[in-house]
Each structure stands twice: as structure tokens, then as C-alpha cells.
């Protein structure tokens, strides 16, 4: 296995179940899994940097990233922006994409998934993502602890 020094994740469909919840007044809600939150702590304890890269741009995600003490948060990343964000983080950290683990679930994650050292996806990812060569398809679905599942596997193989 590749030596992982940076863990990156998509948000909607990975850290959440992909649902968009709205109240009558227009407030948005997202449900995050607390076990995925502990995964960030486990990574930090192991000396692995963390980050979130998402197409959305919300205060909900900013608050979640702050609570998890993620080292990096890139929002509004579309049209190849996720790969560019990961490359920028790698440049800042002095890493290569081969030292990155990334978990994503949808078409906008493909470019990054195809380039990282360890690519993974939730069990309910779209079929095109599941077809990425060498991708690790997790047992858990998005929002159900798939990040924790991947982190535990990474940490037991280091």
C-alpha cells in the first residue's frame, strides 16, 4: 500500500447521505455521521493531514470542517476544481498525489479519484466511480460511516 500523508474527502454523498434537506423557510440541513468525525481525530493522531473538497458552498460544511479541525476546506470546486484543489494542497505540503487518499461518490470526483494513490468510494457511489481502476469500494454508504471504514483500513495497514 502507498504511504498516505493526506486524506481528502468529498462531502455530499460521502460525509452525508447526499440528501438536501430544506425547511419551509428555506433553511438547509445536512446529517453527518459522528463516527466519520472520529475518523478525522484518528488521522490527526496518526500525523495525517485532512481536508474536504466539495462542489457546494455552505456555512454548514464550513462549520463541520472547523469542528473536525480539518486542515483544508475547498468549497465551490467544479469542472476539475477538485483535482486542482488537491494539487494545490499537495504543493503546499510538499506531497505528491500518490501520497493522497481520496473518497468520492459522483462524476465530479472522477478526475481526482483517477490520480490519487488510494481512491475509495461509498457503497452507493455512482457506477462510473465504481469503475475507476483500482478503486476501493467500501461496504458502507455515504453518511453511514464510510469515511471511518476507510480510515480504519488505512491506519491498520500503515
Q: What is the CATH number of the domain that holds 93?
A: 3.40.50.1000
Residue 118 domain-assigned (yes or no): yes
Residue 30 domain-assigned (yes or no): yes
Confidence band of 150 (pLDDT split at 50, 70, 90): very high
Confidence band of 157 (pLDDT split at 50, 70, 90): confident
- Whole-prediction pTM: 0.94
Residue 147 domain-assigned (yes or no): yes
Residue 35 domain-assigned (yes or no): yes
Percent above pLDDT 90 for the chain: 84
**Does the annotation place 27 within a ligand binding site?**
no
What is the span of the domain harbouring residue 35? 6-157
Q: What are the C-alpha distances in Å from 33 to residues 14, 19, 101, 140, 141?
A: 10, 13, 19, 12, 11
**Does the annotation place 36 within a ligand binding site?**
no
Residue 115 domain-assigned (yes or no): yes
Residues 7-66: pLDDT tens digits?
999 999 999 999 888 999 988 889 999 999 999 999 999 999 999 999 888 899 999 999
Number of domains present in the structure of the chain: 1
Residue 1 domain-assigned (yes or no): no
**Does the annotation place 105 within a ligand binding site?**
yes
Residue 129 domain-assigned (yes or no): yes
Amino acid at each position: 500500500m502507498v504511504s498516505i500523508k493526506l486524506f481528502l474527502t468529498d462531502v455530499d454523498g460521502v460525509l452525508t447521505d447526499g440528501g438536501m434537506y430544506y425547511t419551509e423557510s428555506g433553511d438547509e440541513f445536512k446529517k453527518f455521521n459522528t463516527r466519520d468525525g472520529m475518523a478525522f481525530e484518528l488521522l490527526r493522531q496518526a500525523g495525517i493531514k485532512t481536508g474536504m473538497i466539495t462542489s457546494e458552498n455552505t456555512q454548514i460544511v464550513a462549520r463541520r470542517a472547523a469542528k473536525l479541525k480539518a486542515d483544508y476546506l475547498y468549497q465551490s470546486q467544479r469542472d476539475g476544481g477538485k483535482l486542482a484543489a488537491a494539487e494545490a494542497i499537495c504543493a503546499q505540503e510538499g506531497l505528491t498525489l500518490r501520497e493522497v487518499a481520496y473518497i468520492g461518490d459522483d462524476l465530479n470526483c472522477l478526475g481526482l479519484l483517477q490520480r490519487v494513490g488510494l481512491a475509495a468510494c461509498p457503497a452507493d457511489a455512482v457506477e462510473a466511480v465504481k469503475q475507476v481502476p483500482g478503486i476501493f469500494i467500501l461496504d458502507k454508504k455515504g453518511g453511514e460511516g464510510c469515511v471511518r471504514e476507510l480510515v480504519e483500513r488505512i491506519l491498520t495497514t500503515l
